[in-house]
Amino acid sequence: MKNLLSFRFLFTLLLMAFTFSAMTQTKIVVHADQPGAKIDKAIYGHFAEHLGHCIYGGIYVGDKSDIPNDRGFRSDVVKALKDLSVPLVRWPGGCFADTYHWKDGIGPKSQRPSIVNVHWGGVTEDNSFGTHEFLDFCELIGADAYVNLNVGSGTVQEASEWVEYVTSSNESPMTNLRKKNGREKPWNVKYWAVGNETWGCGGNMRPEYYADLYRNYASFMRAPGIYKIASGANVEDYHWTEVMMREATRMMNGLSVHYYTVPFNWGNKGSATDFNELVWFTTLQKTLKMDTLVTRHSAIMDKYDPKKRVGLLVDEWGTWYNVEPGTNPGFLFQQNTLRDALVAGINLNIFNNHADRVRMSNIAQMINVLQSVILTKDKEMVLTPTYYVFKLYKVHQDATMLPVEVKCNQYTLENQSLDAVNCSASTKNGVVSMTLCNLDPNKSQQVSFDLPGSNLTKVSAKVVTAGKINAYNDFGKKAEVTEADFKDLKIVNGKIDAVLPSKSVVLIQVQ
């Protein structure tokens, strides 16, 4: 009996030692002594298209609505977006941009024509939300505006006049029109894109053709200091980037790229909420592809622009699932779970780590469409798990990126593995901020942080996690996924020890 007890004791000790050693494997070095590029706050940008209930119902309900509003903009949404410090909003599309004629959306609302939104559900677009409304909305939430011009069905003159209408302080027919419509002073709009997905819904062009067209449009976008953006590649179309950089580098400030995380395929994208661990794994594996895309597009850009003057702008990214049952298939309305929180955390870490070339990203889309930070249903509003990740990560806006080295456990499922921990770091105003994702839905990760170049006296942290991989926040119910204070960490001998919960996104700040 005594032998049996001591054997049990020994076995327990061995098990504890094994568990501890398995858990201590993650080591992260944050090089506070080697500051990198500035993380442009525009990396935390959003995309708002005339699609489903992103604009109408999401942002704008009109000033006659019984939903509380300021000049038609939903007060609850405005407050939530201000809390998020949204730095930038891209508008009016997307595919919609290349069907949009901006003069339809100015002047008295009663005289604005209704059109058919041909890409998104064939619904009536009454143009009650146009240039003035968009720019007023940006001013209201304190965000910069990014306007996407119409190339697919527009003209150089139409684009040139839009830039002039918005930005010019000279005397001209366009500035007089703006003043007649109630806006005396020009707006300060820096970001302008020449078409959207010109390889697809924006005109089905070849890069050789679009490069010349881009140069033509860019020549007539006359406003000092504006940032001209060329429509970029679809996912890994590296040839597109090569041609655009070869032919048009000197006339552009930014080149975009689009990549959506689709768990299965475009025919069946999978459910937003009903999925198992294998789908969780596949989704995160697919989202990690963003790192390869950014690396390879950047390498091509480096050839033509070694000083990295031109930004790589990921101006559409996020998850894309099947629409929620019973909703309009053209409206792309999907729920948002803890899985989306991880997708957001991973992508934002990737963008931070590539801040020397990636100068902007726009999650698709801000409200009620694809991977949204906010969902609305009539008077109700829900903040999604993705919202809370953006809230944690806002500390990185305009901070200085710090290089990180990560040595971690693997998250393994059915003979496939991913690094279990994903991380980025930055410093601003004497505070070092590290954002971490634990991809493993079953195991916590014991992490030891070394921060050469930083004096650790105080540490604090926040976490976004939940009990289930598909936990989400729904209308009329208590939120299942929010942010919480995180206490499972301490400073030991000048290092930080932390235990990241399974399936979590964590912000750790030291000063």
Q: What gap in Å lies between CA 95 and CA 52, rounded to an integer?
A: 13
Structure-derived torsion over alpha carbons of residues 473, 479, 483, 485, reported in degrees to the nearest 10:
-160
Q: How far is the CB of 42 from ligand AHR (least distance, A)?
A: 18
- In the set 49, 161, 164, 316, the catalytic residue is 316
Q: How far is the CB of 129 from ligand AHR (least distance, A)?
A: 16
Task: Give residue for tokens 């079953």.
Answer: 442
What residues contact residue 3 under an 8 Å CB cut-off, 6+ apart? none
Instruction: Judge contact between 163 and 192, C-beta under 8 A.
Output: yes
Binding mask 300-339 for ligand AHR (x = CB under 6 A): ----------------x-----------------------
Pair type for strands 459-464 and 358-364:
unpaired
Binding mask 342-381 for ligand AHR (x = CB under 6 A): ----------------------xx----x-----------
Stretch that binds ligand AHR, among 87-95, 290-298, 334-342, 419-427 (CB under 6 A): 87-95
Structure tokens at 296: 């390879």
Q: How far is the CB of 475 from ligand AHR (least distance, A)?
A: 23
Q: What gap in Å lies between CA 28 and CA 14, rounded to an integer?
A: 26
Any catalytic annotation for residue 161? no
Stretch that binds ligand AHR, among 24-32, 90-98, 267-275, 406-414 (CB under 6 A): 90-98
First to last CA, the chain: 54
DSSP string, 100-150: --GGGGSS-GGGSPPEE-TTTTT-EE---S-HHHHHHHHHHHT-EEEEEE-
| Nearer to ligand AHR among residue 319 and residue 438 (C-beta) | 319
Q: How far is the CB of 376 from ligand AHR (least distance, A)?
A: 18
Pair type for strands 483-485 and 421-428:
unpaired
| Nearer to ligand AHR among residue 197 and residue 483 (C-beta) | 197
Three-state DSSP class for residue 21: helix
Report which secondary-structure segment, H or E, holds 74: strand 73-74
Any catalytic annotation for residue 49? no
| Nearer to ligand AHR among residue 364 and residue 507 (C-beta) | 364
In sequence order, the β-bridge partners of residue 489 are 498
Among 93, 154, 263, 501, binds ligand AHR (CB under 6 A): 93
| Nearer to ligand AHR among residue 335 and residue 365 (C-beta) | 365
In this structure, which amino acid lies at residue 220? Answer: F
| Nearer to ligand AHR among residue 95 and residue 252 (C-beta) | 95
- In the set 125, 161, 164, 197, the catalytic residue is 197
Write out the binding residues for ligand AHR, residues 189-228 only, by CB under 6 A.
196-197
Among 36, 94, 263, 441, binds ligand AHR (CB under 6 A): 94
Binding mask 139-158 for ligand AHR (x = CB under 6 A): --------------------
Q: What gap in Å lies between CA 78 and CA 116, rounded to an integer?
A: 28
Stretch that binds ligand AHR, among 89-97, 105-113, 181-189, 472-480 (CB under 6 A): 89-97
Q: What gap in Å lies between CA 422 and CA 353, rounded to an integer?
A: 11
Q: How far is the CB of 111 from ligand AHR (least distance, A)?
A: 28
| Nearer to ligand AHR among residue 40 and residue 98 (C-beta) | 98
Stretch that binds ligand AHR, among 6-14, 92-100, 183-191, 355-363 (CB under 6 A): 92-100
Q: Does 49 bind ligand AHR (CB under 6 A)?
A: yes
Pair type for strands 489-492 and 358-364:
unpaired
Three-state DSSP class for residue 77: helix
Distances (CA, A) of 449 to 112, 170, 432, 489: 58, 56, 12, 10
DSSP string, 224-235: TT-EEEEEEEET
| Nearer to ligand AHR among residue 72 and residue 202 (C-beta) | 202
Contacts with ligand AHR by CB under 6 A lie at: 49, 93-95, 196-197, 316, 364-365, 370
Please identify every residue annotated as catalytic: 197, 316
